[in-house]
Structure 1
Amino acid sequence: MTASTLVRGGEATEAVKTLTAQWYNAVVEGCGLDRNTFQLAQGFIQPGVTSESLWKIFNAIPPVTVTHYWNPAQINNFSSTYGALVSNLVPQDSGEFQQTMGDYYARWQNYLQHSTPPPTIPKPGGILELFNQWQQLNMPPEQGQAAYTAYQQVSQGVVPIAMQKWLAAGGGASGTKAYNATVEDLKRIMSQGGPGKSVHMDSSTTSSDVTNTWAKGEVGGFYEFFVGEASVEWKKYTEKISASKLTIDATFKTIGTFTCGPLAEPSTDPILGQYVPWYHSAAVNLAYQNNNYYVWKHTPPTWDGTFGDKGDLRFFTTSLIVVSGVDTTVSSEASFSEQEQEELTASAQVGVFPFFEAKGSGGWNHKFKFDDSGRMTVSCSVPPGVFVILGAIVTPTKDAFGGGQA
């Protein structure tokens, strides 16, 4: 199901926002999760069948809301933002190098950051050998050799090592940015998953207060109650359901926590060994700890734009909460006419709150019924062995991937 199928005019109705906040609180309570770090997955999100599809979920930077619809194609992603960051740092002890380079320094930086295709890092020799090749083609011999000697002094610093890793992995233009765990690791964790959990939500009693969460009350969302046509009629149904008592009972046969981070070192894993490490925590740490022009260049991205109150890298997804063997029952006290029942039954086959997934997709099965008073009950289930992402553990920069440690 595409994001466009789910969007409803740019933001969720207030009624569904309230239900979403209640569902979030019920999941936190029933599954023993921490509201200081947990973000609820909105919709039916599966990790995919390949490691690369799984990594795309981790690579999406989480918005500051208690709920998130994962869109792997979103512009704001971790790897590209990280690449812009390390490209905008000043190498330590680089003053002599820059002075020796003179006007050629800007040309060298432009070559690293904007070449198409990006430069290939030689093996052996790394970025130092790349520079040596470049200066021989682009600089006067004496000045080039002096610059090469100066660059030798700084090339083993934090920033050059980070740049060397980034470019070796393809830079921002190409190459998969791998993470340090695979789909096989996820399968192993789920096979050893903890005991099942149960969640109960009652719209008449469950709190919708999410101000005491890490997101400080922000509730994102783009859904009506059903994934039906966007119209006044469907909005009426949503409001009718929300105005009456609604209960949700869900059980998860298996629940597991899958932790994953950017690939920083070569791996002996048969899958990970095929990918080039691209992340260097020391560079993020250097940037995080120093909000000044000794470390940051005078061009964007800036410290505030990266780590500040509205910065791009305030939080990272460090773990996923994954469940399997899902059974849910959604019951409403609202009463519907026979015509409304037919319309709602048809809509339920393509998705209903809170998982929004079509019948048959990913193993889901829906059963829809009404009692003699027209009150509805929707039962949805997905079998064991089918993995569903319930949510994520969101961690601030200072605590994630070694990037913010003092």
Structure 2
Amino acid sequence: MAAPTVTTDAARATDPAVAKAMKTLTAQWYNAVVAGCGLDPDTFQLAQGAEQIGSTSEELWNTLDALPPGSLTHQWNESRLDLLSAHYGDIVNNLVPERSGDFRRIMADDYPRWMDYLHGDPPPKMPDGGILQLFHDWAQVNMAPDDAQAAYTAWQQVAQGTVPAAVGLWVAAGGQGATKAYDRTIAELEDALRPGAPGKTVVLDSTTTSKSVDHTWASGEVGGVLEFFAGEASEHWDKYTKAVSAAGVRIDAEFERVVSFPAGPLSKASTNPDLEGYKPWFHGPALSLAYKENNYDVWERKAPSWDDEFGPEGVMRYFVTELVVVSGVTVTTTSATTFTEKEREEVRASAAYGFFPFFEGEHEGGWKHQFSFSDSGALTVKSTVDVGVPILLGANVTSVARQFG
């Protein structure tokens, strides 16, 4: 049975009380996960839903590359992802190279043509001599000999700077659209999740677990909240969400293996044979320069601007430093809500598509659900997924201000 796309509360909730109840329950689940897994509320961001990392390094890198919002929760839904690599590429290609005044003056009308060539789609193939050799070869074909030599001499001075170094790496790695590697691989994650990795227990009791998240890095902001059931969004399911929330919920989760897996953008050539063929593309000093210098001496007068990337609504305010991954999951969810015989079948049908907090449907991603009702109609669901399926529990994030400010 294929699970439907799980959407946010803005699209699903038909009753403000439902959104409020689910925000409270999500905050409690966040606190329970932080406490049970020994995580840091100053950095941890909870994944909403059972996000599957996949089985390849490129799928792992896509997860690491996702730019997190300023919220305690995040859905790693590919249709809504802003990627660090894409925005980084836009930024470094929009910076003014240091000491570039003489170069621009000598280039005159040839400068825009050089920039169009450098930032073309696809980008030019980087020669062994790097960006300096690339400019030399281009100038020999596209400029008068005397102008080409003068420009090359000026570019020698410019090419030693931070911006050309970053652009050179970016172009050599294929520019926008090419796969951007990180410095850890799926094989390393699988090795970290082998026997010996610690297990953790998480318990949420909606009547006792703290609902306060004001102490966290996102100052209590909980986004993308879902209804309790992932079935069809309607007032019909709102009724069950409110009933479950009002009666109280207990969630007992056992994670056989839990690892925090640090990784970063590939910034230098790696000796890992699994990374052979992937070129470094990230140059931290360039991002630091871009963040620290909000002015037109460093930024070109075109989009994206500093505010687009780093401002109060910018997409590059935070990025992922570690993934928190679990394997071998057993979750028992119990609600004291009483359901009639008819309602039990309706709830069972909806719950088969997934429910809080993982929202994974029956047999999706290896999940299995077992339903039972007490004589009074109280619901218990036991959900399991075997060891060997890495599930993203969340990520540790940091701000660009902290890392590069």
TM-score, reference length from structure 1: 0.94
Match of 2:16 in 1: none
In the superposition, relative to structure 1, how do residues 293 and 245 fare at CA in structure 2: closer, same or farther (>3 Å)? same
What is the CA distance between 1:193 and its match in structure 2? 5.2
Question: How far did 1:74 drift?
Answer: 3.1
Amino acid at match of 1:116: D
Match of 2:123 among 108, 118, 121: 118
**1:388 shift after superposition:** 1.2
> What is the DSSP-based 3-state SS (H/G/I as helix, E as strand, rest coil) of the residue aligned with 1:80?
helix
Aligned partner (choices 4, 22, 39) of residue 33 of structure 1 = 39
1:43-82 to 2 correspondences below 5 Å: 43-82=49-88
* Structure-2 separation of matches of 1:99 and 1:175: 33
Q: Retained in 2: the 8 A contact 1:262–1:279? A: yes
Whole-angstrom distance in 2 between the partners of 1:153 and 1:127: 12
* 1:131 aligns to 2:135 (yes or no): yes
- Residue 28 of structure 2 is matched in structure 1 by 22
3-state SS of paired residue (1:293): coil
In the alignment, the residues of structure 1 paired with residue 182 and residue 235 of structure 2 have an alpha-carbon distance, to the nearest angstrom, of 44
One-letter amino acid of the structure 1 residue matched with residue 72 of structure 2: V
List per-residue Cα deviations over 1:220-276 (Å, max 9, x = no partner). Answer: 125221111112211111111111111111111111111111001111211112201
Distance 1:116 1:386, change over 3 A: closer
Cα shift at 1:289: 2.3
CA contact (8 A) 1:328 1:381 kept: yes
Contact map agreement 2:67 2:81 (CA 8 A) in 1: no
Q: Return the match for 2:183 from 180, 183, 199.
A: 180
1:382 paired residue number: 385
Q: How does 1:189-228 map to 2 (within 5 A)?
A: 189-191=192-194, 194-228=197-231
- The 5 Å alignment of 1:122-161 reads 122=127, 124-161=128-165
Aligned counterpart, 1:320: 323
For the 8 Å contact 1:10–1:222, the answer to whether it is kept is no
Cα distance between partner residues in 2 of 1:248 and 1:75: 29
Query: What is the letter of the counterpart of residue 372 of structure 1?
Result: D
Measured in 2, the distance between the counterparts of 1:75 and 1:198 equals 30
**Aligned residue for 1:290?**
293
* CA offset digits 1:90-144 (Å, max 9, x no partner): 111111111111122122222222x23222112x221112212222232222212
Check conservation: 1:51, 1:183, Cα contact below 8 A: yes
1:43 Cα deviation (Å)? 0.4
What code does the residue aligned with 1:364 have? W
The whole-number CA distance in structure 2 between the counterparts of 1:16 and 1:320 is 25
Deviations, residues 288-310 of structure 1 (Å, cap 9, x unaligned):
22222222222222223222222
**Matched residue type, 2:183:** N
Worse-superposed segment, 298-307 or 360-369: 298-307
Indicate yes or no: 2:98 matched with 1:97: no
Tell me the alpha carbon deviations over residues 4-47 of structure 1, each in whole angstroms, 9 at most, x when there is no partner.
34455536522212111111111111111111100001001121
In structure 1, what is the Cα distance between the partners aligned to 2:8 and 2:296? 42
What secondary structure, in the 3-state scheme, does the structure 1 residue paired with 2:204 have? Answer: strand
Partner Cα distance (2:336, 2:95) in 1 = 59
Percent of pairs identical after alignment?
51
Question: Paired residue for 1:396?
Answer: 399
Q: Does 1:344 align with 2:347?
A: yes
Identify if the C-alpha distance between structure 1 residues 367 and 192 changes in structure 2 by more than 3 Å, giving closer, same or farther: closer
Q: Counterpart in 1 of 2:334?
A: 331
Contact 1:193 1:255 in 2 (8 A): no
TM-score by length of 2: 0.94
The answer to whether residue 238 in structure 2 is matched with residue 235 in structure 1 is yes
Are 2:174 and 1:170 equivalent residues in the alignment? yes
Distance 2:179 2:221 in 1: 32
Q: 1:44, 1:357 within 8 Å by CA — same for their partners in 2?
A: yes
CA contact under 8 A between 2:4 and 2:231: conserved in structure 1?
Answer: no
Cα offset, 1:146, TM superposition: 0.8
Between 362-371 and 175-184, report the one with greater CA deviation.
362-371
Q: What residue is the counterpart of 2:307 in the other structure?
A: 304
What letter is aligned with 2:253?
A: A
Q: Distance in 2 between matches of 1:8 and 1:213?
A: 22
Mapped to 1, the partners of 2:295 and 2:4 lie a distance apart of: 40
Amino acid at match of 2:122: P
Distance 2:310 2:10 in 1: 31
User: In 1, distance between residues paired with 2:260 and 2:347?
Assistant: 35
Contact 1:363 1:382 in 2 (8 A): yes
Alpha carbons of structure 1 residues 75 and 257: separation in structure 2 relative to 1, 3 Å = closer
Letter in 2 for 1:157: G
Q: Residue 2 of structure 1: CA displacement?
A: 7.4
**Residue pair 1:60, 1:71 contacting (<8 A) in 2 also:** no
User: Aligned runs of 1:347-362 on 2, under 5 Å?
Assistant: 347-362=350-365
Q: How many equivalent residue pairs? A: 399
| C-alpha contact 1:169 1:175 (8 A) present in aligned 2 | yes
RMSD: 1.7
Residues 29/303 of structure 1: CA separation in 2 closer, same or farther (3 Å cut)? same
My pick for the range that moved more, 200-209 or 48-57, is 200-209
